[in-house]
Structure 1
Amino acid sequence: MFWDLILPLFIPAALVLFFRILNKPYKPAIFGVYQQRNKFFWIKYIFMYLILSFRQLVNHIRRILAVETGKSSDGVQHVHKQDEVLENKYYLGDHAQAIDAVYLNGCNKDGDAVICGIARRPKHVVDAFLFLKVKGEDLLLSPELPDTYQEQVTIEEGYYRVKGLEIANFIPMRTWKLTYNGDMKVRNDTEKTVKVELELTWSAVFSHFNYDTQMSPKSMARDLAKEKWSRGYFKLLKKFHQTHYEQMGVLEGTVTIDGKDHTINIPCVRDHSFGPFRDWKTFHRYVYHFIFLENGDCMAIGSVCQPAVLSHLTIGYLCRQSDQSVLPVEFCDFQLYQHGEHQILPKDYGFCFEAGGKTYAVRVQVDDEETFYIGKSREAKFYERWCSVEINGVKGSACVEWHYNNVQANSKRKNE
């Protein structure tokens, strides 16, 4: 009896609601770039959340089965086979935009800092750079900076090595080596060079974080659901995909500058990214915070804008010293369009993020910065910014990387 009364009312109401949603206009993208929540957002969110959660569960089960069936080590005393494979050099093949890149970034409250990256590209081209700061000394730059485009000689091919700079794996997911022997420029007097010998060892403190398998399904689904879906969209998403993982540790060793020895001991993140396609022209911008707190916690939090596939992607994780856990960032209110969209970068700002069921309030104060470019035609511009931070009352240091698409700026310079 009840349904006989309700059903005639329910069906028309449902039809009205359906067509109202169907005809609802799309909200325009902010600045013509950043997509907003639109109709069907929650349907798309739930659908994608279920898929991503299922994928994550399948990967977890596969890792356990690999150990139980003897196809991998136990993951405690040894490195899981799946993780060991990640540390191998990537075969670039015939892909014109293929990449295989390694990167180190660390700093401390005393002013010591090291940033180094070497990205292998086809035809024995690399994008490579080194920034070095030791207490009481000026910032030192590798000779090619602010450019990074270089070509390897025969003996360097196939390695993360160029012109005296090298990053090499020693023990997978445990130890890497960073060495350099050559001249470096003094930031405040680029005509002056100093002789630098550097031999540093990076050692893992936390387990690695693989963006392919460990990102929060909630966060990823939320960002994907904002985009306009089509068959072409998902083809492009697959094309742009690359494997990227990071690991927090310690970088220590000796740096000799013009015969004077300095000891380096700093918290430091290491990353490795590779895949058949990376074109910096497809990125609009990103901001990525590498944060090292005095209580031993480390974290990476940022936002990426690659308009063709993800106009806003929240990335990051928290490494918690108290229990050695590595937790994905589930939410962050840092919005790119609110911070430095037109390359007027803030010097003092804040944001909040959630990880492990807890909210963290971050305050960032910029102390120093330097710029450089990636690509033969300078298609990507980067700001490396060394900062003081405070999170929930705990102080620390950070290096924050701000990237901007530089293609339009280059075009303007050429036309002038």
Structure 2
Amino acid sequence: MYILSALLGFGIGVVLIYVTKQKKQLQNSKIFGIYSQPGKWYFIKYHVFLFLLVLRRLKYYIFGKSLFHNVNNIEKLQPLSSHELAFDAVFFQAVSQNGIYFCMGTERRHQAKVNGLVYLLIPEYGALLSEKLPKTTLDADPASLLSNKEYAAEGIRITPIVPMKLWKISFKGKMRQLGKPNKLVDVDFEAEWNSNLPWFLFEVEIPLRILARAIARETWTEKFFKSLKE
């Protein structure tokens, strides 16, 4: 009886040592402690997940993505999750033939805060940038918080009009000239973003093999798949 207990204890000890060693090897295999590398079961996991992805995408290939995803629900202000780092962002950039460059982005956060920036290059003035840069934290426009129909903060205003087709973009406020931090310029402009291109759905358009390889590198746990779903 004592011998059996000793053998059982020894076996459990060996298993614990093996599991601990495997965890350490897995942690060490991550580049910078973040980017996972192929592990022991990588090839099996890769083919299993690739097969599941093919099955999942069959409905899109047969019926089209518009049947399962309403663009009116996709391209609009999205509710923020309870996570403190949750955000909802939009970003636009443009270049004209006469040398004008434009870049604007907003990132809605909790507590009525927005990470926002504007860059504008006009040949007559040179490069202009948001007055607060390199700081990007802005106060959200109170009216936008109530309407929940546009991204707006301290002069920045981005409004979806027709999902995947038309957005209105505007800015009214002061911007600094690059290289002249004390030189402020009053800027007031409005623009429209138009597109007739097919809309892109990450879940469908990203190559299957790339997605399967990325998932197969990770440690498959309940927590991992829960975060993947979210």
- Give the distance between the partners of 2:98 and 2:29, measured in 1 at CA: 46
Equivalent pairs, count: 203
- Give the distance between the partners of 1:65 and 1:120, measured in 2 at CA: 27
Whether 1:128 aligns to 2:116 is: yes
1:120: how far off?
A: 1.7
1:29: how far off?
A: 2.5
Q: Give the alignment of 1:243-322 within 5 angstroms.
A: none
Specify which structure has the bigger relative contact order, considering alpha-carbon pairs within 8 angstroms and separated by 6 or more residues: 2
| Counterpart AA for 1:182 | G
1:213: how far off?
A: 2.8
Matched-pair contact (CA < 8 Å) for 2:175–2:186? yes
1:169 aligned residue (160, 177, 196): 160
Q: Which residue of 2 aligns with 1:33?
A: 34
Name the CA shift for 1:85/1:233 in 2 (closer, same or farther; >3 Å). Answer: closer
Q: Which residue of 1 aligns with 2:46?
A: 45
Matched-pair contact (CA < 8 Å) for 2:78–2:88? yes
TM-score normalised by structure 2 residue count: 0.76
- Give the distance between the partners of 2:219 and 2:69, measured in 1 at CA: 38
Instruction: Report the RMSD for the aligned CA atoms in angstroms.
Output: 2.7
- Give the distance between the partners of 1:109 and 1:41, measured in 2 at CA: 49
Q: Give the alignment of 1:381-400 within 5 angstroms.
A: none
Q: Give the alignment of 1:122-271 within 5 angstroms.
A: 122-157=110-145, 158=148, 159-239=150-230
1:218: how far off?
A: 0.8
What is the SS of the residue equivalent to 1:56? helix
Matched-pair contact (CA < 8 Å) for 1:95–1:122? no
- Give the distance between the partners of 2:113 and 2:80, measured in 1 at CA: 11
Q: Give the alignment of 1:55-66 within 5 angstroms.
A: 55-63=56-64, 66=67
- Give the distance between the partners of 2:192 and 2:66, measured in 1 at CA: 33
1:43: how far off?
A: 0.9
More strand by share: 1
Matched-pair contact (CA < 8 Å) for 1:183–1:195? yes
Name the CA shift for 1:110/1:34 in 2 (closer, same or farther; >3 Å). Answer: farther
Q: Cα deviation per residue 1:24-61 (whole Å; 9 max; x = unaligned)?
A: x7672334333222322211111111112222222344
- Give the distance between the partners of 1:135 and 1:153, measured in 2 at CA: 31
Q: Give the alignment of 1:323-338 within 5 angstroms.
A: none
Q: Which residue of 2 aligns with 1:309?
A: none
1:133: how far off?
A: 1.2
| Counterpart AA for 2:34 | V
Matched-pair contact (CA < 8 Å) for 1:179–1:198? yes
After the TM superposition, which of the residue ranges 218-227 and 111-120 deviates more from structure 2?
111-120
| Counterpart AA for 1:178 | I
Which consecutive residues of structure 2, in runs of 5 or more, have no partner in the other structure?
Answer: 1-21
What is the SS of the residue equivalent to 1:173? coil
- Give the distance between the partners of 1:181 and 1:64, measured in 2 at CA: 38
- Give the distance between the partners of 1:64 and 1:33, measured in 2 at CA: 33
| Counterpart AA for 2:200 | F
More helix by share: 2
| Counterpart AA for 1:101 | A
Matched-pair contact (CA < 8 Å) for 2:139–2:154? no
Q: Which residue of 2 aligns with 1:7?
A: none
What is the SS of the residue equivalent to 2:115? strand
1:223: how far off?
A: 1.3
- Give the distance between the partners of 1:222 and 1:39, measured in 2 at CA: 14
- Give the distance between the partners of 2:108 and 2:32, measured in 1 at CA: 34
TM-score normalised by structure 1 residue count: 0.44
Q: Cα deviation per residue 1:292-343 (whole Å; 9 max; x = unaligned)?
A: xxxxxxxxxxxxxxxxxxxxxxxxxxxxxxxxxxxxxxxxxxxxxxxxxxxx
- Give the distance between the partners of 2:33 and 2:84, measured in 1 at CA: 30
- Give the distance between the partners of 2:81 and 2:62, measured in 1 at CA: 32
What is the SS of the residue equivalent to 1:47? helix
Which consecutive residues of structure 1, in runs of 5 or more, have no partner in the other structure?
Answer: 1-22, 67-79, 240-416
What is the SS of the residue equivalent to 2:169? strand
Matched-pair contact (CA < 8 Å) for 1:29–1:36? yes
- Give the distance between the partners of 2:35 and 2:97, measured in 1 at CA: 35
